[in-house]
Amino acid sequence: MRAPITKAVAFAVLLTAGICATAHAITAEVGPVWVSATATVQPRELPSRGNAPITLKSITRVGTHDGSTPPTLKTLLFVLDKNGTIDTKGLPTCTTTKLEGTTPSQARKRCADALVGKGTAKVLVTMPGEAPFTIVSPLSFFNGPRSGGMPTLISHGYETVPAPKTLLVPIPIERISGGRYGYRVQVDLPEFAGGYGAPLLAEAKIGATRMRGGKEVGYINAHCSGGRLQVTGSARFTNGDFFPVTLTSPCHFPR
């Protein structure tokens, strides 16, 4: 039986991330299973005061060295640097009702003005009596209605196995205070392929811009403090495995 990721492994991952302090992937391995994570912010040139639009890209990969089926990814948690802000003022919203039953292209057309990010999901499917195969879905992220005064995202995916199905995930964005961080975002992944799917890749790039009052503003805006913007988070699996990581993306002031 494979042991879950231990505190010692978690500490080693955090230590490595702290030493590297870059946007390179951080990887943890337990037995044949490996998990890697990256988070990058663009542009790197940001003001020291006030905020400028940015895009945040995150990539989480799961795999095994021996070809066995990895554990099923259940939850992704991101805690974002307090030197960044989420700005939804004047930004149109989309709802799960409008997105139900849509393909990726239909969803992006139906809620084009609320689209703030895109990505990709890749899933390994192991159905009884069939050889394992992978399915890939575009991901779309829409500005959702506020909930409890807080902004939300709606993640849209689409699968065709075992039957065509729209996968919608509401994502609350919680404002937090104290310490290095300002926002907490938890993504509870849906069931894939009727319960026979194990995610291998979750990739997202968030950061649409728009004009407001003659000025370009972003869905995410930030300034540079201490030469870096920082994201901490974790990946949790249905078997109890838990992978925490802290990632930093370097920034600098205009020259």
Average pLDDT over residues 71-94: 96
The whole-chain average pLDDT of the chain stands at: 90
Q: Is residue 84 within 8 Å of 229, Cβ to Cβ? A: yes
Q: What is the DSSP string of 17-56?
A: HHHH-SSS-EEEEETTEEEEEEEEEE-SB--SSS-EEEEE
| Confidence (pLDDT) at 14 | 35
Q: What percent of the chain has pLDDT over 70?
A: 91
pLDDT band at 52 (very low <50, low <70, confident <90, very high): very high
Distance CA 202, CA 134 (A): 13
pLDDT in tens, 100-159: 999 999 999 999 999 999 999 999 999 999 999 999 999 999 999 999 999 999 999 999
Cis peptide upstream of residue 199 (ω within 30 degrees of 0): no
List 134's β-bridge partners, or say none: 124
CA quadruple 204, 110, 88, 47: dihedral positive or negative?
positive
Q: What percent of the chain has pLDDT over 90?
A: 80
pLDDT band at 255 (very low <50, low <70, confident <90, very high): confident
Tell whether the model's pLDDT for residue 19 goes beyond 70. Answer: no
Which DSSP helix (H) or strand (E) runs through 216? strand 215-218
| Confidence (pLDDT) at 28 | 85
pLDDT band at 12 (very low <50, low <70, confident <90, very high): very low
What is the DSSP code (8-state) at residue 98? H
pLDDT band at 24 (very low <50, low <70, confident <90, very high): low
Cis peptide upstream of residue 244 (ω within 30 degrees of 0): no
Query: Helix, strand or coil for residue 179?
Result: coil
For 188, the token pair is 């509870």
The closest of 135, 246, 239, 134 to 180, measured between CA atoms, is 246
C-alpha dihedral, 160 to 136 to 123 to 27, nearest 10°: -170
| Confidence (pLDDT) at 7 | 38
Distance CA 189, CA 196 (A): 14
Please write down the HEC assignment for all residues of 157-190: EEECCCCCEEEEEEEEEEECCCCCEEEEEEEECC
pLDDT in tens, 169-227: 999 999 999 799 999 999 999 999 999 999 999 999 999 999 999 999 999 999 999 99
pLDDT band at 22 (very low <50, low <70, confident <90, very high): very low
What is the DSSP code (8-state) at residue 57? E
Rounded to two decimals, the pTM is 0.90
| Confidence (pLDDT) at 224 | 97
The residue with tokens 């230590």 is 15
pLDDT band at 26 (very low <50, low <70, confident <90, very high): confident
